[in-house]
Amino acid sequence: MIHTIRVILACCALALCGPSAAAGKAANPAQYVTESMTVSGAVEHALTLRVADLRQFPPQQLGEVPLVCQTGAKVGQLENFKGVLLRDILEKAVVVSHDHNDVKKMLIIATASDGYKVVFSWSEIFNSPVGDGVLVFFEKDGQPLADDEGRIAMVSSKDLRTGPRHVKWLQGIEVRKIVE
């Protein structure tokens, strides 16, 4: 009985996270492509930004960023891409802060259209060198991003392993204060 349950659970895990799910995304990435991203949650100005809107922020250009999975495997490389700092976007949205210590409790959650999510903290973005390397990007070699990344993606280029916070098909950024 327990063995049967284990087998069922293992199959579910494989279906959700295993090669078949990854292969599905690789085979049909067009369904995940995002044309705009939102900024929501604990901000004074909620934003919806299309690529044309992102171009209004100060441009950032990066050369080569190796993409390394959390396992340590090299999975690719980002080259010659253009974007803007997540910090500049959040400055426009204005993180809500009533108390001197509010910002220290803020999470910044990036969500992709396939349900992938990664978190940053306010301190990482606004008060550490990591923030200098967190880019929302939309152009590679002067061209819009291909379907395998969406039109809008994100990377935290100063991470030790850059794969996990390379968010393909970026859909939104939510600012949320932790519950005390």
Ligand X SMILES: Nc1nc2c(c(=O)[nH]1)N[C@H]1C(S)=C(S)[C@@H](COP(=O)(O)O)O[C@H]1N2
Site residues, ligand X (CB under 6 A): 69-70, 75-76, 112, 114, 116, 163-164, 166-169
Among 81, 163, 169, 175, binds Mo ion (CB under 5 A): 163
Q: In the complex with ligand X, which residue's Cβ is closer, 95 or 151?
A: 151
Tell me how far apart the alpha carbons of residues 3 and 62 are, in angstroms, rounded to a whole number: 51
**Nearest residue relative to ligand X (C-beta):** 163
Residue nearer to ligand X on the CB measure, 114 or 147: 114
Question: What is the secondary structure of 85-145 as a DSSP string?
Answer: EHHHHHHHH-B--SSTTGGGGEEEEEEETTS-EEEEEHHHHHSSGGGGGEEEEEEETTEEP
* DSSP β-ladder status, 170-177 and 36-41: parallel
In angstroms, the CA 42 to CA 97 distance is 8
**Minimum CB distance to ligand X, residue 138 (Å):** 15
Name the minimum Å distance from CB 168 to ligand X: 4
Work out how close the CB of 164 gets to ligand X at its nearest, in angstroms, rounded to a whole number. Answer: 5
The one of Mo ion, ligand X, none whose footprint includes residue 173, by CB under 5 to 8 A per kind, is none
